[in-house]
Amino acid sequence: MSDQLHTEASVSRPPAVPSPAPPSAPAEIPSAIAPAALPPWLDLAAPAFWRLPDPQRAAAFRHLRSLPAPVHFVERPAGPLRRERGFHALVRHADVLAASRNPQVFRSAPGVTTPEPARWVRLLFGDSMVNLDDPRHAQLRRIVARAFTPRLIARVEEDIRATAARIVDRVIAERPADFVPAVAAQLPFQVICAMMGIPEEHRPLILRQIDQASEHTGVHRPLRERIRLPGQGLRALARLQRLVARLGCERRRHPTEDLISALVGADLDGRGLTGRELGAFFSLLLVAGVETTRNALAHGLHLLSTHPEQRALLLAEPERRLDGAVDEILRHATPIIQFRRTLAADHQLGGAQLARGDQVLLCYAAANRDESVFPDPDAFDITRDPNPQLAFGGGGPHFCLGAHLARQEMKALYRELFSRLPDIRSTAAPEIVPSNFDHRVRSLAFTFTPPAVGG
Ligand code: HEM
């Protein structure tokens, strides 16, 4: 979902090494803190904050939500490369909803990831729809929504089931040690490639390019790496774009049933995607659709492994419980931590006065633990009902286009895994890549008892 190009650290204050707060720390903190006096473990602009373990970050968000002024301004240090002076953090469910549903004021341009994409990069590679506002956004969304019509999704669902079954066949045959590359990354990637009509022979190369293009988003790194890694990411992205543009040209001449043909063919306004727009959309789909679902699947296995009573509920009545389990995994794990908006006009929100040009972070991870909406929000409870989780956004024009598809993929994979390998479980905590953008799992050790031969 990122611009894939955000290889620079998004939070680059000099290393303010945190004295990590224990989960109980907020109780010892006064209820209102001037932003300048924030301890490092509450400073959302400090890279160290995003390296905190999940429970400590959740405790920090809980504390921010409880402040008398919960729309919280985070100052950024001035620096030669830094244009922004800081940002307002929205940590309550109601505030994230309000901002998401008011696109006239809360704009997605010039970019929703932090920092915003460089202008030359946007000119060169095209803007993805997630960074655009109407009318341009609406026009693009109308075209790409062709990919997500019930007819196309129904066809894909058959594919999802078959792909999930093949992945589990391979897991049984090969007994891999790491759930992420062997299982979690496979399904969303194969599904998107099948939807786009990407020939099998190109897929391994594409998978390598995505890893290179997105591995560094929102991750704080030393200067030496920050100079080297964007080059790698950009080269990977350029290769991806060239490949897809070439396929687009082929399909324009010889259309088939696949998504690329639908996207480059003319619509009622006589307009299809240009080669560059197609490349930008495909890159968006790969990161939006592959990385997010991959991380959700991995977090889900770990959550179900560490909550045996919830797992027992799911396994006892899978068809009754799967929908609730998937939504609770999405709420608890929140694969995309936050997106940004930029104010088009002065505006009041949550008691705070925001000014035109100000930047606002929509902290989905914090909103998804808002105790005023989710009783006992840190508990993992697959029977939670209602569960108005915001992992796919807070509604409004940018609401995740792939939400239905992602849910279908998660249900298909868990159905296949738990029915054929009922004791499958993680054996260690996931290795998390610290990031202010996504809740990325690099690896997850797992085990299972293989079924008896012929079983
Ligand atoms: C668990 C998986 C996923 C999560 C957590 C997720 C999350 C999100 C979020 C938070 C947004 C931004 C919403 C907003 O700004 O209001 C978004 C937008 C988007 N997502 Fe997803 N997503 C997931 C899976 C997918 C999949 C599978 C696809 C497609 C195959 C997809 C395609 C998109 C697209 C195209 C947008 C941009 C929509 C727009 O700007 O109009 N996502 N997603």
Measured over the CA atoms of residue 403, residue 296, residue 315 and residue 412, the dihedral's sign is positive
Residue 410, ligand 1, Cβ within 6 A: no
The residue ranges of the chain whose pLDDT is under 70 are 1-41, 77-84, 115-126, 211-233, 266-270, 454-455
Overall residue count recorded for the chain in this entry: 455
Residue of 392, 414, 440 to mutate, ligand 1, most atoms within 8 A of C-beta: 392
Residue 117, ligand 1, Cβ within 6 A: no
User: Taking the model in full, what pTM does it have?
Assistant: 0.88
Residue 287, ligand 1, Cβ within 6 A: no
DSSP letter assigned to residue 22? P
**pLDDT value, residue 228:** 47
Residue 275, ligand 1, Cβ within 6 A: no
Residue 402, ligand 1, Cβ within 6 A: yes
Residue 398, ligand 1, Cβ within 6 A: yes
The angle formed by the CA atoms of residues 106, 110 and 113, to the nearest 5 degrees, is 85
**pLDDT value, residue 240:** 76
Q: How far is the CA of 414 from the centre of ligand 1 (A)?
A: 21
Element (H, E) at 365: helix 364-367
Is residue 20, in this structure, part of any structural domain at all?
no
Is residue 222, in this structure, part of any structural domain at all?
yes
Domain that holds residue 276: 25-447
* Residue for token pair 């679902």: 293
Structure tokens at 214: 């997105």
Q: Which atom of ligand 1 is nearest to the CA of 396?
A: 16
Residue 175 exposed, middle or buried by CB count within 10 Å (0-12, 13-18, 19+) = exposed
Could you give the residue ranges of the DSSP H alpha helices within 254-358?
A: 259-264, 275-285, 292-306, 308-316, 318-333
Is residue 8, in this structure, part of any structural domain at all?
no
Q: How far is residue 290's CA from residue 283's CA, in Å, rounded to a whole number?
A: 10
Q: How far is the CA of 305 from the centre of ligand 1 (A)?
A: 26
Phi, psi of 285 (to 5 degrees): -60, -40
Q: How far is the CA of 287 from the centre of ligand 1 (A)?
A: 9
Secondary structure (3-state) at 205: helix
Residue 106, ligand 1, Cβ within 6 A: no
- Of 235, 240, 260, give the one whose Cα is nearest residue 250: 260
Q: Which atom of ligand 1 is nearest to the CA of 405?
A: 27
Task: Tell me which residue has its CA closest to atom 34 in ligand 1.
Answer: 401
Instruction: Enumerate residues 6+ apart whose C-beta is below 8 A from 446.
Output: 177, 178, 179, 301, 424, 425, 426, 427
Residue of 362, 400, 440, 441 to mutate, ligand 1, most atoms within 8 A of C-beta: 400
**pLDDT value, residue 197:** 82
Determine contact, residues 123/93, Cβ cutoff 8 Å: no
**pLDDT value, residue 2:** 38
**pLDDT value, residue 21:** 43
Q: Which atom of ligand 1 is nearest to the CA of 295?
A: 1
Q: Which atom of ligand 1 is nearest to the CA of 108?
A: 15
- Of 210, 43, 217, give the one whose Cα is nearest residue 113: 217
Q: How far is residue 226's CA from residue 218's CA, in Å, rounded to a whole number?
A: 11
Is residue 37, in this structure, part of any structural domain at all?
yes
Q: At what angle do helices 403-420 and 186-196 cross, to 10 degrees?
A: 130
Q: Which long-range contacts (CB under 8 A, 24 or more apart) does 375-378 make?
A: 378/55, 378/58
Determine contact, residues 432/51, Cβ cutoff 8 Å: no
DSSP letter assigned to residue 130? G
Q: Which atom of ligand 1 is nearest to the CA of 397?
A: 41
Residue 390, ligand 1, Cβ within 6 A: no
Residue of 1, 101, 217 to mutate, ligand 1, most atoms within 8 A of C-beta: 1
Give 363-377 pLDDT, tens digit per residue.
999 999 999 999 999
Residue 339, ligand 1, Cβ within 6 A: yes
Task: Tell me which residue has its CA closest to atom 7 in ligand 1.
Answer: 392
Task: Tell me which residue has its CA closest to atom 35 in ligand 1.
Answer: 401
Give first-to-last CA distance, the chain, whole Å.
Answer: 40
Domain harbouring 333, CATH code? 1.10.630.10
Please report, rounded to a whole number, the percentage of residues in the chain having pLDDT higher than 90. 49
Residue 392, ligand 1, Cβ within 6 A: yes
Residue 271: what residue type?
Answer: R
**pLDDT value, residue 267:** 66
Determine contact, residues 209/237, Cβ cutoff 8 Å: yes
Is residue 454, in this structure, part of any structural domain at all?
no
Is residue 52, in this structure, part of any structural domain at all?
yes
**pLDDT value, residue 142:** 87
Q: Which atom of ligand 1 is nearest to the CA of 191?
A: 30
Residue 126, ligand 1, Cβ within 6 A: no
Q: How far is the CA of 179 from the centre of ligand 1 (A)?
A: 23
**pLDDT value, residue 73:** 85
Residue 192, ligand 1, Cβ within 6 A: yes
- Of 409, 403, 408, give the one whose Cα is nearest residue 389: 403
The angle formed by the CA atoms of residues 247, 249 and 254, to the nearest 5 degrees, is 90
**pLDDT value, residue 42:** 78
Determine contact, residues 340/114, Cβ cutoff 8 Å: yes
Residue 163 exposed, middle or buried by CB count within 10 Å (0-12, 13-18, 19+) = buried
Residue 419: what residue type?
Answer: S
Is residue 117, in this structure, part of any structural domain at all?
yes
Residue 353 forms beta bridges with which residues?
Answer: 348
Q: Which atom of ligand 1 is nearest to the CA of 334?
A: 5
- Of 186, 174, 166, give the one whose Cα is nearest residue 450: 174
Buried/exposed 244-281: b ≥16 CB within 10 Å, e otherwise: bbebbeebbeeeeebbbbbbbeeeeeeebbebbbbbbb
| Omega within 30 of 0 (cis) for the link into 386 | yes
Is residue 2, in this structure, part of any structural domain at all?
no
**Total domains in the fold of the chain:** 1
